[in-house]
Amino acid sequence: MLKNIPPILSPEMLKVLCEMGHGDRLVIADANFPAASIGKNAIVLRADGHGAVEILEAILTLLPLDKYVEHAVTLMQVTPGDSVETPIWEEYKAKISQFDERGANTVCEAERHTFYDLSRNAYAIIATGEKKLYANIILQKGVLS
């Protein structure tokens, strides 16, 4: 038993977070994301029944964001013509602001297929049970200071 580890993070998730190095990317995927097919060359972890915001918050308590890049966080851009609202993005930005002084300034958006390409090169993908649309987010790991 360890102290101060968010209980939502499984031992396997903790192992993966420890293995990641500076610049490695971690995808937190919503329930619609094709994690198994996109993650063929990555570690795919399941977090069914958990929301993406709670997983993000738990991860940010342990994982520093990359300070050497302008945008250490990437969201999947809404496809043109899709009228979906993305209120979860504001929740993400609020959580990021709690852990990184750059706050929303470190967040960017990538077109859906570009996001998929970035995800194919991620170290790991956490497939959550998040039902909100366009709730996919990529974090780029930084260094401990």
Domain assignment present for 1: no
- Residues 22, 68, 113, 117: which is the catalytic one? 22
Range of the domain at 125: 22-140
pTM of the model: 0.96
Question: What is the pLDDT at residue 2?
Answer: 78
- DSSP assignment string, 52-73: HHHHHHHHHTT-PBPSSSS-SE
Domain assignment present for 73: yes
Pairing of strands 137-140, 73-76: antiparallel
The helix or strand, by DSSP H or E, that contains position 37, with its residue range, turns out to be helix 35-38
Question: What is the pLDDT at residue 1?
Answer: 67
Domain assignment present for 17: no
- Residues 66, 92, 100, 123: which is the catalytic one? 66
Domain assignment present for 106: yes
Tell me the pLDDT of the chain averaged across its residues. Answer: 96
Domain assignment present for 145: no
pLDDT digits (tens, 9 = 90+) for 73-91: 999 999 999 999 999 999 9
Domain assignment present for 11: no
The question of whether 22 is a catalytic residue gets the answer: yes
CATH number of the domain enclosing 110: 3.40.1650.10
The question of whether 66 is a catalytic residue gets the answer: yes
Number of domains in the chain: 1
pLDDT digits (tens, 9 = 90+) for 42-79: 999 999 999 999 999 999 999 999 999 999 999 999 99
Q: 137 - beta bridge partners?
A: 28, 75
Domain assignment present for 105: yes
What is the rounded average pLDDT of the residues 95-109? Answer: 97
Query: What percentage of residues in the chain have a pLDDT greater than 90?
Result: 96
**SS3 sequence of 88-129:** HHHHHHHHHHHHCCCHHHHEEEECHHHHHHHHHCCCEEEEEC
